[in-house]
Structure formats: C-alpha cells, structure tokens
Amino acid sequence: MQVIQGRSGWLEVICGPMFSGKSEELIRRIRRAEIARQRIQLFKPKVDDRYSETEIVSHSQQRLPSTPVASSLDILACVDDKTEVVGIDEVQFFDEGIVEVCDRLANMGKRVMAAGLDMDYLGRPFAPMPNLMAIAEYVTKQLAICMRCGDPAVHTQRLTDSTDTIVVGAQGTYEARCRRCFVLPDVSQEEPKDVAKG
Ligand code: ADP
Ligand code: ZN
C-alpha cells in the first residue's frame, strides 16, 4: 500500500465475507502502527459480543483490546485529539452515521481503518458498507475459501433458517461459499420486515 505523507488523514476499508481474514488484517495493520508508536484507539459495535465484550478477536484467535460502543456518534465522542489511528471492526453493524463519523475523523488528520462484511446472508450490499467504500481512499476486498469446493469465496452462507438480517455468528452458524456454491436462502414465506432492507 502506498504511504501518504503529511498531515492528511484517510480511510481504509477492509471488506469481504466471514472468515476472509478481515479482523486478522485489521489486527496486522494495527500491530504495525503500534510498532511505529502511533496513538491508536479501537472500537467495535456493542451488538457483536460473540467471543469477547471488549476485544477484537479473529477466527484464528488473534485479539486486541477495544472499546465497545452502541452508536457511531459514541466513537466521535470517545476519540482523543491526540489519537493518530482509529480502528473499527464489524463496521457493518453500525448505523449509517458511521460514514460521516469516519469522514470527519479522516478530515481531522487521522488514519481510519474500518473492517466489515460487504454483503449480508442474502448476498445484498450490507449498509453502511457501500457508502463507506465509496468515500474511502483504500478498499481491500478479502476472500475466504469456499467450504464446498475450495474456490475463492465471496459469500457468507447462513446455515440456520433465521431471516433476521443480523444474526451474530456463533460456531456453525455460517460458512464461506463461492458464487457457484452459494445457495440463496428462500425468504419468500416470511414477513417482509427486515428482508426489505437495502
Ligand atoms: P473475518 O474477520 O473476515 O471473519 P478472521 O480474520 O476472523 O476473518 O478469520 C480468518 C481466519 O479464519 C483464517 O486465517 C482461518 O484461520 C480461519 N478460517 C476458517 N474458515 C475459513 C475459510 N473458509 N476460509 C478462510 N479462512 C478460514
Ligand atoms: Zn464453491
């Protein structure tokens, strides 16, 4: 990745399906910033407490301490003036306001890294990711390994029949699939409540 010199901030988005290494990549970038002795703050949404209330945890059990927040505005309120690097994991779970928050932090001269799912379990763009990707300087799309055939996997296959847009991933709830092996869940019998989103 090209290094931007000077005092300008910027936004990096790391996206892809579950198991594609988004958290690992975020942790890798943060560890390098730590080595460079930069001032760092990490956040995750409060909804995501499947492994740890306060840590960013990858499926390979790498972890970093973070601050769980309920809304995007909480991030703005928590970020210190002196902070140089802001990392956000599971950013798809935030409200649409996260786009302006990331923009403002970058305008304040901070390096902002945001990792999140770009598609939901129906293969639809997962708001607020599309808008976040549109305003980012750098977008890294990660792929996982398809659990059916071993091809590059772009989808997150839900293995249960829930039709809620947000079902936080426990063991065995999801697996990575390529576009050929992905089976679009049948939601036609369900109430259109959250299915209409996006
Ligand atoms: P993400 O944040 O994108 O969900 P993580 O960074 O938490 O991904 O985890 C990535 C790790 O998940 C990989 O290094 C690997 O150890 C593990 N893993 C489990 N299933 C898969 C898969 N189908 N494809 C790739 N990695 C997988
Ligand atoms: Zn496949």
Q: Where are the domains of the chain?
A: 10-142
Q: Which atom of ligand 1 is nearest to the CA of 24?
A: 6
Q: Residue 195 has what pLDDT?
A: 38
**Is 156 touching ligand 1 by the criterion CB < 6 Å?**
no
- Active-site residues, by number, are 90
Q: Which atom of ligand 1 is nearest to the CA of 26?
A: 6
**Is 22 touching ligand 1 by the criterion CB < 6 Å?**
yes
User: Would the pLDDT of 197 be above 50?
Assistant: no
User: Would the pLDDT of 14 be above 80?
Assistant: yes
Q: Please state the pTM of the whole predicted model.
A: 0.90
User: Would the pLDDT of 81 be above 80?
Assistant: yes
* Domain spanning 10-142, CATH class: alpha beta
* Angle (nearest 5°) at CA 18 between 65 and 34: 30
User: Would the pLDDT of 48 be above 70?
Assistant: no
What ligand has the least distance to the C-alpha of 177? 2
Backbone conformation region of residue 145, classed left if phi is above 0, alpha if psi is from -120 to 50, else beta: beta
Q: Extract the tokens encoding 136.
A: 């980012």
Per-residue pLDDT reduced to its tens digit, 114-150: 999 999 999 999 999 999 999 999 999 999 999 999 9
> What's the rounded Cα separation, in Å, for the pair 142 and 17?
7
> What's the rounded Cα separation, in Å, for the pair 160 and 143?
22
**Is 176 touching ligand 1 by the criterion CB < 6 Å?**
yes
